Structure 1
Amino acid sequence: MAATRPNNRHRIRTACLALLAALPLGACQTRQAQLAQDDDSAWYIGAKADKPFDIPLVDTGRLDPKYRRQTVAYTGLEAPGTIVVDIDQRQLFLVQEGGTAQRYGVGVGKAGFSWKGEARVGRKGVWPDWSPTPTMVSLHPDLPRTRKGGLDNPLGARALYLYQGNRDILFRIHGTNEPWSIGEQMSSGCVRMLNEDVADLFERVPVGTRVIVKRGGRDRV
C-alpha cells in the first residue's frame, strides 16, 4: 500500500497523462479539454499499489478543503452504514457511529442529468469495464460501446452500482481519471470520486448498503 518511490513517480505520472489525453469518455461524460487548463502533471504525486493497476494518487492540496476526505460531525437521521450524497454540496457522507461521518468530495451530474432518490449498492466492481447507457448513445452515437478497465477508463479504480430492487438503475458511484472535476457539476449523472477515495469507500461498504442521493435538501420530488 506504499506510494511509489520518487524515481518511479515520473513514469507513473507520464503514463497517466498519456492515457488521460486519449479521449477520457465519461460514463458520466465530461468537458475534457476545457478543464485540463493547467499543468495536469501537478495533480499526480505517486501511486498506491493495487491490482491489476496501481492507483494514481492526487495532490489533494489542489482541492478546496471541503472536498478532501475527512471525518466530520454528522447530525442527519440516517443510520450508520448509510451512504448519503448531497448533490448541491458536492459531498458524499458515509454515516458512522457516534454522530460522525466519513466525508468525501465528489463530482456530480450537470444540470438536467442529476438523479436523486434512494437505492442500494447492488454490486461492486474493481477496475470495472465501462459501457455507455442508452441515453448516452442516443446523444453521442459515435461513442465506443465498451472500454476495458484501466487507467483511462471513465469508471476509474472502483465502482458501486446502484439498484432499486433487482433493477440496475444505471447510476454509479465511481472513480475518475479527471481529478479536477471533483466539486464540479459536469458529468452525465453519476457521482465521481478520486480513485483513492472510491477505493477507500469500496472497502468500507458491503453490497446491500443503503444509498440516499439528495438535491435541494431532499431525496424525493
Structure 2
Amino acid sequence: MAIDLTRNTVSRRTLLSAAATTAATAALAGCNTSSPATPPIAKPVIPPPPETLGSAVTMYAAVEDGGHKVPGVPVEKIDKRFLRQIVADPTGEAPGTVVIDTGSHFLYVVQRFGRAMRYGVGLGRAGFEWSGTGVIEWKQHWPRWHPPAEMIQRQPNLEKYRTDYDPKTKEWKGGMAPGISNPLGARALYIYQNGKDTLYRVHGSPEWWTIGKSVSSGCVRMINQDVMDLYDRVPEKSPIIVTSGLRTT
C-alpha cells in the first residue's frame, strides 16, 4: 500500500508551527507577568476625630472603685488649666510617652496625630528632686503607703505606719492600708531608670486643692479621677520624661 508522504510531512510541519506559536505566546505572556506592576496610590491617613471627654462635672463626679468611694471634686474651685483635656502636643515625643513638665505643673500623655492628653499635677520637694528619662516599671491599684524613715522622724505620729522588710517572705510589712485617705490615692506609677527605682512616683491624692501648686512633701500628685484615667491609658514599661524646661503653648 502506498503511503502519502506529502500529507504526513504537511501535517507534521503544521503541528511544529502551531507548537512554536504556542511557545512564543507563552514566553510573551511570561514577560508581561514579570513586568513591575503599577504601585497602588497611597491613600492619605485621615486622623480620627478627637476623643470626647465630656463635661468636667462628669469627669470628676463621685465614683466607686475597688470597693472604695471616691468623692466628687468641686471643679469650679480648680483653675480650668489643670482639668483633664486634649491639647496640641507640645513635646514632640513619640505616641505613648509620658511627659511631666514640673515648671508648668502639667503631665502629658502623647497621642497620635499631634495630640496629647494633659492633666494638672501638684508637686512637692520630692517632685523637683529628679528629672530625666525613665520607664514606668510597674503600676499599683489602690497602693499601700510606706512613709520614708525621714518623714516619720519629722512627723512622729506616722510611726504606726513604719515599714519593715521581711527577708523570709521578701515583702515589706506595715504601711498605711489602701483607702481614700491614703496619700497615694487610687493609683500609683513607679518610675525606674536603668533598672533602679528613682523613688519618684506619680500617684493619686485626695487633696485636690494642691493640684497646680507646690506643697511641702510628695512626688507628683494627681486628682484621683485623673490618675485612674492615666492608669488605664499608660501600660507598664512606657517611657517617661520629667523636665522643667518644656515650652508649652
Query: TM-score scaled by structure 1?
Result: 0.72
Count of residues in correspondence between the two structures: 174
Give the counterpart letter for 2:93 in structure 1: E
Q: Which runs of 5+ in 2 are unaligned?
A: 1-59, 163-174
Measure, in 2, the Cα distance between the counterparts of 1:185 and 1:97. Answer: 31
Are residues 180 and 122 of structure 1, via their aligned partners in 2, closer, same or farther at CA, if it must alter by over 3 Å? same
| Residue 196 (structure 1) shift | 0.2
| Residue 138 (structure 1) shift | 4.8
Q: In the alignment, what sits opposite 1:78? A: 93
Runs of 4+ in structure 1 deviating by more than 6 angstroms, as ranges, are: none
Residue identity (%): 47
Given candidates 79, 83, 98, the residue that maps to 2:113 is 98
Q: In the alignment, what sits opposite 2:39? A: none
Give the counterpart letter for 2:209 in structure 1: W
Give the counterpart letter for 2:143 in structure 1: P
Give the counterpart letter for 2:108 in structure 1: F
Q: Deviations over 1:2-52 (max 9, x none)?
A: xxxxxxxxxxxxxxxxxxxxxxxxxxxxxxxxxxxxxxxxxxx85212112
Q: Which runs of 5+ in 1 are unaligned?
A: 1-44
Q: Deviations over 1:35-85 (max 9, x none)?
A: xxxxxxxxxx85212112132221222111110000000132211101101
| Residue 203 (structure 1) shift | 0.3
Are residues 164 and 137 of structure 1, via their aligned partners in 2, closer, same or farther at CA, if it must alter by over 3 Å? farther
Measure, in 2, the Cα distance between the counterparts of 1:187 and 1:94. Answer: 26
Matched residue of 1:185: which SS?
coil
Measure, in 1, the Cα distance between the counterparts of 2:200 and 2:151. Answer: 13
Measure, in 1, the Cα distance between the counterparts of 2:240 and 2:188. Answer: 14
Given candidates 168, 173, 186, the residue that maps to 1:157 is 186
Are residues 170 and 51 of structure 1, via their aligned partners in 2, closer, same or farther at CA, if it must alter by over 3 Å? same
Measure, in 2, the Cα distance between the counterparts of 1:62 and 1:155. Answer: 22
Q: RMSD of the TM alignment (CA)? A: 2.1
CA contact (8 A) 2:101 2:107 kept: yes
Q: In the alignment, what sits opposite 1:192? A: 221
Measure, in 2, the Cα distance between the counterparts of 1:185 and 1:156. Answer: 18
Given candidates 196, 215, 221, the residue that maps to 1:167 is 196
Structure of larger gyration radius: 2
Are residues 182 and 75 of structure 1, via their aligned partners in 2, closer, same or farther at CA, if it must alter by over 3 Å? closer
| Residue 134 (structure 1) shift | 4.0
